[in-house]
Structures are given as C-alpha cells and as structure tokens.
Structure 1
Amino acid sequence: MADITRRLGWRHLRGAPTAHIRHHRAGELVHDGPGLSFWFRSLTAALSEVPVDDRELAMTFHARTSDFQDVAVQATVTYRISDPALAAARLDFSVDPDTGVWRGAPLEQLGTLLTETAQQHALDVLARTTLSAALVDGVAAVRERVAAGLTAEPRLPATGIEVVAVRVVALRPEPEVERALRTPAREQIQQEADRATYERRAVAVERERAIAENELASQIELARREEQLVDQRGTNARREAEERAAADAVTAGAEAARTVRLAEAEAARSVKLAEAEADNQVRMADAEAQRSQRLTEAEAARSVKLSEAEAVRTVRLARAEAEAARETGEARAQAQAAWLRVHADVDVATLHALTGTRLADNLPHIENLTVSPDVLTGLLAKLGGGERE
C-alpha cells in the first residue's frame, strides 16, 4: 500500500520498490514506474498500484478418481505480474488518493482465476487415475499437468500474469479410506514385527541355554579349582607352621645368646661402676678433708686477725672517748665559768626573774593552779616593800 501524506491541499505519494505506480491526470499518464515519489492533487489524479513482487497462492480442493474415491489436493502456485500496465487495464488496481487503499480486490480476483484454472486441470488428470495410482504417482502428474495448463492458459498472459512455479504438496484420500489402505501395510509390518519378536525370543532362549551351560561348566571348574586351592592352602599352612617353628627356634637361641651377652655386659658394667664409685668416694673424702683443713686454718687465721683488729679498735675507741670526755669537761667548765661571770655582774631582781623562768621550764605540767588570798596578800606585800626600798 502506498504512503500518502497531506500538505495544504496537495498530496504526496511515496511508493515501494515492489509496487508499480501509474498516475493519470486528465486522461494522460503522468507518472509510471515502481518506487515513485511525487506530489499530486487528489481531485485531478487517478492512481493505480500494481504489485510486481512474487506472490504465493495456497489452494486446497477436492477431486474424484476413476474409482469414485474422493481425494484432497494441496498445492501452491507462485506468480507475479509481469506487465503492470496490462494488469491495471484488465483489473481494478486503482487506489484512493487520500488513503492509498485499493478501491477493489484485484488480488482476490487473481487468486480465484489461478485456483479455478489449476483445479480444472487437476480434476481432469485425477478423473482418469485410480486412487492407488494417484497416491503413488499422482503428485508429479498433477504438478506437471497444472503447470502446463497454467502456462498454456491464454487469459493469464492477456492479464499480464506470469506463473513462476507450481508445487503440489499432498494428495490425501478420506480418513476412512486412508485407514483402510494403511491396514494391509500395518498388518504386514506387524507380522514382520511378530516374526522378528519370535526370532528374537528363540535367539534369546538359545543364548540363555548356552549361558546356563557356560555357567554350569564354570561352576564345575570353580569347584575343582577350589578343591585344588584347599589342598594348596593346607600344604602352605603346614610349610608355614614348620618355617615358623624353625624361625622361632632360631629366634629363641639368638635371644638366649643375646640375654647372656647382655647379662655379662651388665655385670662388667656394674663392677666398673662400683670401682669408679669407690674411687670417687675416696677422692671426695680426701678433697673434703683437705677442704675442711684449709677452712679451719683460714678460720683460725681470720680469728687471730679479727682479735688483733678488735683490740686495736678498742684501744682507739677508749682513747677517743677519754679525749672526748676531757674536751667535754673542759667545755662545760668554761661554759659554767662564763655563766657564773655573767650572773656575778647582774642585780638580784634579774637573778630572781631568771630563777623563776628556769624553775618554770623545769616544773612539771600543771593543769590547775589555786592561789589563796593569804599567799597573794603576802606576795603583794613583799612586792610593795621591795618597790619602796
């Protein structure tokens, strides 16, 4: 279908490469060819679109054979329009200038023409052929006859139609007849299958018998070999016991000899250890005696040295203490003499005050002091008398 667009009262047509466009204006052919693109006015334009590509037309129709059996024919015809101008003149391929859609149905007309023509030639062939022959060779015969008939049909070239190929897909009888025709073949195939089954079973039975015989022979051979194996195992066991006894005797002798050697070696080692231990004890006793003697001598010497040092230190300490006592006595005597010289020059009242101060320093701690009026009166009287003097 052509693609038509509207612009301000004008129309633009764009065709496909497989569509032949014919444009008439006022009875004159303006554009003619495939894949055209042009502007036109819809009121003055007459447009036709003819497809020029190959088209497939599938058809199915029924025919009757010479033995009055109905068969269905499935065929396909490939055709194309070789002369678009002639086809447009014979069939209505005009399109609507506003939508680009065909006004009629030209392809349906072509399909009807081709189907009826092919059916006529196929019926002519099958009417002279039996059903069995038609099922065997009917496809090729119908195809050749239909192709020749369509090629020789004068109306097709007059319409610009060219038949490219004819294919007959199948010739099928009615389902009941087809089943009936299949029955003998099925029975024969079933018989062949049954015979093959029986033969397979016979072969299987024969093979099973051979297998059973082989198994029995194998069991007999296995029993015989098992007897030989038992005998051989007994012989091997006896030989193994004898070899084990001999090996045990050799092992026992070797073990006894090794034990004797070990006992002798152990005794010799014990004697050597005892001698070495005795020598070691003697050496250790000698060393201990020598060490005790050296320690005693060293202790005596150290005691003598300590005694001498202690005597010297005692003498020195006594001398130091005597010197310190003498110096201390001298210092005290000098201090006492100085103290007495100082008090000799001081008046009696000052000495009384110092005596009271010294007495207060040496008195014990007094919590409470009670002064009676008598003591206070006498003290005040003495203080007053002293002031008058």
Structure 2
Amino acid sequence: MLPIKFYRADSSTYVIKTVNGKVIRKGKGLSFFYNTATTSIAAIPVNTQGAPFIFNLKTSDFQDIRIQGRLNFRVADPDKTAEAMNFNLNRAGKDYAGEDPLNLNEQVIRCLQSVVQTKIQTMPLKQALFINQELFSRVEAELKATPSIGTMGVEILDLSIAAISPSPETAKALEAKQREEILKQADDAIYARRKCAVEQERTIQEAELATKLFVQQKEQQIEEDRIAKEREILRAKAATAKARIQSKIDEESQNREYVAIRTENKKQESDADAYAISAKMKAYKALSADYIKALSMSQMNPEQIMALAFESFAQNASKIGELNIGQETFGRMLRREMNNDG
C-alpha cells in the first residue's frame, strides 16, 4: 500500500505543510496530496472561539467569590501558535497527534484567571461584587498584553461577565444585612413621610393662623377706617353746624346793623316828615280858614264836594228854611258811581 494520501482543509483552518522538516506550503483552506512518511501537517483553526469560565477566587478580606463569564478569542498568528503548541495531525490526517489543540482554551483561560486574580486580591468583597465595566476593560487590556497570549499568537476579542456572586453563607449574611438596611430605609422613609406630613400640617395650620390674623387685621383696619370716617363725618357736621351758627350770627349781626341803620333812617325820615309837616302847619296857620278850605276843595272830585256840601247843610240846618234838590242831581251822581264801579 502506497503512503500517499489526500488532505483538504476548510476555509477556517490554517495549514502548514512540512516535508523533511522544511515548510513547503502554508495557508488557509489548502488541499494537496502528501507522503505520510515524510510529510507533517499542522492544522490551526483561525475562527473565533468562545471559552466559558468560572473562577472561584478570594478577596482581600478573605471572602470567597465566584466570577462567571465568557472569553472570545481567535488565533491571529498561526505560525506562532504552531511554534508554541503542537497542532500536527496524525498520519491519517484526521485527528491531532497531541492534546495541545484541546488545551488552547484552557491555557488562555488560565492567563485570564491570573489577571483577574491579581485584581480581585486587592479588593474587599463589597467592592468586588460591584466591579464596573471600566475595570474589566482594564483586565481585558492587561490580558492582551500578557506575554503568554502573544507567544501563542492569540488575539483577545471580547470579555463578558455573566455573574459575580459570593459564597452561599456570605450571600445570606449580605442578604440579612441588606434586608436590615432596606427595612431601616423603609422605617426612615415612614419617619420622613410622617415628619413631612407633620410639617405640612404645621404649615397648613400656620397658613390658617396667618389667614385668620390677616382677616382680623383687615377687619380691625376696616373698623378703624369706619371710625375714622365717622369722626371725619362728625367733624364735618360740627364744622357745618358751627359754620351755620356763625352764618346765623353773622346774619343776625348784619340784621342788627341793618335794623339800626334802618331805624336811624326812619328816624331821620320821621324827623324830615315832622319838619315838613311843621313847616306846612306854620304855612297853614298863616292862611285863613276859608282859603285853606277852598284850596282843599280844589283837589276834590265832584262827589266829595257834594258830600261836603250836604255836611255843611246839615250843620246849618237851623239856618236854612227850605232846600230843594232835584232827581237829576242824584241820578247823575248814581250813574257816575255805577260807572266807576263797573
């Protein structure tokens, strides 16, 4: 049987063909015939590989902690990987000749564990339980810079953390402590709510008292304004009454002055009339009685003259023997009197 076989790799496998210790061909997805007696084939998978991990570590305060996650990587430099590890196939070209390909994930995870352990040992439990993404980014950067990773030709793609948990006993203790803290926060919240309610009630009562005080002040101000207005009205009425009395006093004073002046004027008029009458009487005394009588009769109307004539007849009736007066005289006098009345 001839020692000639055919090998074909897929596109995700990097192949290095070595004949008598000399590299003849290398690359991804190669296919070729080879002599099993003189040829060795190294097949390195260059696709992305995921390695889950669980680390049981201790913190700086000697507490157990478990970190679960996943590390994604790939072989970026298969030549370095082939030099650092044995990825040669057996003579049949189907299986690996050694266990190094199966240990690649384990070795990368051990490098990661070493870096993470260095970080966790410097942290207390509480701080380790709340590791943020920034810290894991630094862990990832340190892992990429690890010499072992570079020697194996591996490229770190992504590091993700699924869970960070303490031991069950520690978890119960933390839960109890946290529960007490939550209960205390709840009590504080109830106290704060009651305190807030009391403060709000006090604020409401103060506002009500302030409102009542303001209303009382307003009512007092209104009452004071009313009293002040009444006082002003009374002052105005008193001033008006005083002015009215003063006006009456002034009026009476003016009336008194007027009466005094009028009396004086009347007195002067009376004196003038008396003087005129006295002068007339003196003039009349100088005249005879017949002349005065004739003078007065000259200013009388016919009826008055007739009345005086009859009065004279009556006074001298003993001296008159007989007097005849016709009807025409009395008729004319009556008609004239009636005409004057009409």
TM-score (norm 1): 0.45
* Residue 12 of structure 1, aligned match among 6, 16, 23: 6
2: CA distance between counterparts of 1:141 and 1:170?
16
Instruction: Give the superposition deviation at 1:99.
Output: 4.3
1: CA distance between counterparts of 2:118 and 2:38?
49
Instruction: Give the superposition deviation at 1:51.
Output: 0.6
| DSSP 3-state at the match of 2:10 | coil
Corresponding position of 1:151: 144
Instruction: Give the superposition deviation at 1:73.
Output: 1.4
Question: C-alpha root-mean-square deviation of aligned residues, in Å?
Answer: 2.7
**Does the alignment pair 1:39 with 2:33?**
yes
Corresponding position of 2:196: none
| DSSP 3-state at the match of 1:95 | coil
* Residue 64 of structure 2, aligned match among 61, 70, 82: 70
Instruction: Report if the CA contact (8 A) 1:142-1:168 is conserved.
Output: no
Structure 2, gaps ≥5 residues long: 190-342
Give the counterpart letter for 1:28 in structure 2.
Answer: K
2: CA distance between counterparts of 1:146 and 1:107?
25
Instruction: Report if the CA contact (8 A) 2:59-2:65 is conserved.
Output: yes
Show CA shifts across 1:105-126 (max 9, x none): 2234322332222112212211
Percent sequence identity over aligned pairs: 26
| DSSP 3-state at the match of 2:95 | coil
Corresponding position of 2:105: 111
Instruction: Give the superposition deviation at 1:142.
Output: 5.0
1: CA distance between counterparts of 2:2 and 2:97?
24
Instruction: Report if the CA contact (8 A) 2:44-2:78 is conserved.
Output: yes
Specify which structure has the higher proportion of helix. Answer: 1
2: CA distance between counterparts of 1:127 and 1:25?
49
2: CA distance between counterparts of 1:69 and 1:63?
8
Corresponding position of 1:135: 129
Instruction: Give the superposition deviation at 1:48.
Output: 0.6
| DSSP 3-state at the match of 1:17 | coil
Corresponding position of 1:125: 119
Count how many residue pairs are aligned between Structure 1 and Structure 2. 190
Instruction: Give the superposition deviation at 1:145.
Output: 3.6
Instruction: Report if the CA contact (8 A) 1:95-1:102 is conserved.
Output: yes
Structure 1, gaps ≥5 residues long: 1-6, 197-389
**Does the alignment pair 1:163 with 2:156?**
yes
Corresponding position of 1:55: 49
2: CA distance between counterparts of 1:84 and 1:118?
20
Show CA shifts across 1:50-96 (max 9, x none): 01001111111122112221101113211111111221112100001
Instruction: Give the superposition deviation at 1:24.
Output: 1.2
| Deviation beyond 4 Å, 4+ runs, structure 1 | 187-196
| DSSP 3-state at the match of 1:122 | helix
Cα 1:61–1:105 change in 2 (3 A) is: same
Cα 1:93–1:57 change in 2 (3 A) is: same
Cα 1:49–1:127 change in 2 (3 A) is: same
Cα 1:188–1:89 change in 2 (3 A) is: closer
TM-score (norm 2): 0.50
